[in-house]
Amino acid sequence: MQPPGPPPAYAPANGDFTFVSSADAEDLSGSIASPDVKLNLGGDFIKESTATTFLRQRGYGWLLEVEDDDPEDNKPLLEELDIDLKDIYYKIRCVLMPMPSLGFNRQVVRDNPDFWGPLAVVLFFSMISLYGQFRVVSWIITIWIFGSLTIFLLARVLGGEVAYGQVLGVIGYSLLPLIVIAPILLVVGSFEVVSTLIKLFGVFWAAYSAASLLVGEEFKTKKPLLIYPIFLLYIYFLSLYTGV
């Protein structure tokens, strides 16, 4: 019986790999080239930089990911600030023309309050009230905020279901009649009787616009208790403008 000889080298038919002896492996040497990774951006292949490839090989490829733009981030500025110019324009018309016969849905001023419209009206009233007195601006805004708060508290005490934001919006928008009479007072200011009548008309106009929106049927016989302070508030606004 012959001693067994060395096992034959395995040579696979498909040629994918072969086993070699340890003696033959001593002369083997080589290197592995870095993969040529390319990105497909819009159909164009762009070769990645060395730093990008390095990060991807070590599992930090997530640092290179770019999120898609969210359509929510591309809204117009007015929409981002929740400013609806058409809504503000409609509310201005409702305040300037408070007669029910005109067919305006005036309750939208109270039921759908906003902040930017009344603020713009108050600031505009402050601008025409300056006459070199820049402190008037902050004072008028203060009277608007705290005067509205007083009307709100009084309305709640009398049993009215109204929010502070609603009162703030109605009082602010209702300054528009005083803005309308401002240029008229500049023309007829030398005629004391006519000027006084226009001032009274402007105050009644503003107070009626505000009271017709804030004083609902829930007040019943207590309406004068809320209408009177609203009237006084607009008299005070007019005094800040005219100085009397």
Closest Cα partner for 103 from 94, 91, 113? 94
For the beta carbon of residue 203, count every other beta carbon within 10 angstroms. 21
Please give the Cα distance from 207 to 205 (Å, whole number).
Answer: 6
| Look-up of token digits 């508030």 | 233
**Quick one: DSSP state of residue 67?**
P
Q: Which residues on neighbouring strands pair with residue 45, listed in sequence order?
A: 40
Report how far residue 244's alpha carbon sits from residue 224's, in angstroms, rounded to the nearest whole number: 25
Cα separation of 135 and 43, whole Å? 63
Burial of 233 from C-beta contacts in 10 A (0-12 / 13-18 / 19+): buried
Asked whether the beta carbons of 204 and 150 are under 8 A apart, the reply is: no
Q: How far apart are alpha carbons 7 and 20 in whole angstroms?
A: 12
pTM above 0.85, yes or no: no
| Partner residues linked to 44 by β-bridges | 41
Query: Along the 244 residues of the chain, how does pLDDT read in single tens digits?
Result: 555 555 555 455 555 555 555 555 555 555 555 555 454 544 444 455 676 676 667 665 665 566 555 555 566 766 776 788 888 888 888 888 887 777 778 888 888 888 888 888 888 888 877 665 666 778 888 889 999 999 999 888 887 788 898 899 999 999 999 888 888 888 887 788 888 899 899 999 999 888 888 887 766 677 788 888 999 999 988 887 765 4
